Structure 1
Amino acid sequence: MSGEPLLELENVTRSVLLPDDSELHILNGIDLSVSEGDHIAIVGRSGTGKSTLLNILGLLDRPTSGSLQWRGKDATRLSAKQAAHARGRDLGFVFQQFNLLPGRTALENVMAPLMYASGHEFWNRRKLATESLERVGLGKRLDSMPQTLSGGEQQRVAIARALVRRPRVVLADEPTGALDVTTGRAVMDLLDSATVDSGAALITITHDSNVAALAREQLQLDGGRLHPLSEVAAR
């Protein structure tokens, strides 16, 4: 680890109540510590709880039990407003389907998170968004609409948007799922180098062990718990 933990999960569980009043146990005791500069990949098949874990890591949901610490504070006690502020300020999200705003240029898409900023970030939003796009190699595509960009270029816009506020943690949910293998590898290399340059932690949620292999720490979500990927493979 490199520095003080940003996110710490200890024995985190998540259950939901089913219509027949029985409980479905999705997460059964997650332990995870994330510090600045970490690159962690979490691998899991469909239905293993990856999305549930992502929502907890992204402060979008709360655990049923266990400890969730965000920058040394009990994240389960954050109000909805405080959690939303933390997400906007310190968390960046990259999704499989890009989620770019239609009818908005690449620059306008990257500027979007800065519309809710204040002070320097708000007044310099165009400059900051331009610099973020230049860092991902799209300085000449500022005025391009999403539909005129390739899949790899759209994902690079999404990465620029996720990094524009220099978050502490970037959560990438199946970031290469809509891309071919070669483009996906290039996007992951870019995402890794961009987060290293900014000092952010990168957590990649994926079903692809090849994508996971690019991370410095590889974990598998299995049986509602996290295990080192090498340990699972040896079973």
Structure 2
Amino acid sequence: MAEELIDLAGVTRSVLLPDDQELHILRGINLSICSGDHTAIIGRSGCGKSTLLNLLGLLDLPTAGELTFMGVPARQLSGNARARLRGSSVGFVFQQFNLLPGRSALENVVTPLMYATGRDFWKRRELAMDMLDRVGLSHRAGTHPALLSGGEQQRVAIARALVRRPRLILADEPTGALDVDTGQAVMALLDTVATESGAALVTITHDVNVAALARSCYRLDQGVLSALSVPAAATA
């Protein structure tokens, strides 16, 4: 039976505007993510996708409701404890890659391991090179981001997200800056690597074609999350 990694029960997220009005971004979100899941959350710009991603990645806490990560209520964790859990268990893949321009592909992938302990720290370059090899870029290890194609940069970003073997992978519009063919290849790679490691993959997207690659789909509209049937393309 798959292990439940994260559970949101009646979660809301609101912010107070300068005029003291409350802006409700997320409303009563119920969502469970288990190990091995591939879940897509689709919605238009401004619907609250990034806010939901921040909650799933323990960057923020709910205004109300309960968020549990690996059996522990997030509210019981200090900011430092959430940061440690996020660093060890959550991998982020961003649309704009967020690679460090002055560092090689290998150095970018090594970066998360600088905060590791024990074997992961001492073997950090070896682990980073192994992950680059898994995404087909070991031959580009010494290359800086400016000399990599968009698809290569995204694969470096994926390697960086996965090098600490996270339990949960959060991909925020991972194909938004890529052409269709490269985007499909990146999503296939991300799904394959996540499946091999038993990690849960959550893709935040506005693209129904990307959502079709997931095994469960949800729509976020005006802060309300509802289940969708998996598009036929995903099961063909």
> Considering the TM-score relative to the shorter chain, is it more than 0.5?
yes
Please name the residue that 2:133 is paired with: 134
**Mapping of residues 76-225 of structure 1, within 5 Å:** 76-225=75-224
> For the aligned residues, what is the CA RMSD?
1.0
How many angstroms apart in 2 are the aligned matches of 1:134 and 1:230? Answer: 36
Which amino acid is the alignment partner of residue 99 of structure 2? L
| SS of equivalent residue, structure 1 residue 140 | helix
Which amino acid is the alignment partner of residue 215 of structure 1? A
| SS of equivalent residue, structure 1 residue 69 | strand
How many angstroms apart in 2 are the aligned matches of 1:129 and 1:229? Answer: 37
How many angstroms apart in 2 are the aligned matches of 1:176 and 1:205? Answer: 10
Shift of 1:224: 1.4
How many angstroms apart in 2 are the aligned matches of 1:22 and 1:105? Answer: 46
* Unaligned segments of structure 1, at least 5 residues: none
* Number of matched pairs: 230
Shift of 1:225: 1.6
How many angstroms apart in 1 are the aligned matches of 2:21 and 2:163? Answer: 43
How many angstroms apart in 2 are the aligned matches of 1:17 and 1:107? Answer: 42
Shift of 1:223: 2.8
TM-score by length of 2: 0.96
TM-score by length of 1: 0.96
Shift of 1:229: 2.4
How many angstroms apart in 2 are the aligned matches of 1:20 and 1:84? Answer: 32
- Given that 2:145 and 2:153 are in contact with CA atoms closer than 8 Å, whether structure 1 keeps it comes out as yes
* Unaligned segments of structure 2, at least 5 residues: 231-236
* Residues 35-92 of structure 1: per-residue CA shift (max 9 Å, x gap): 1100000001011000110100000000000010000011122111001101110000
Structure 1's consecutive aligned runs of 4 or more residues displaced over 6 angstroms after TM superposition are: none
Shift of 1:230: 3.4
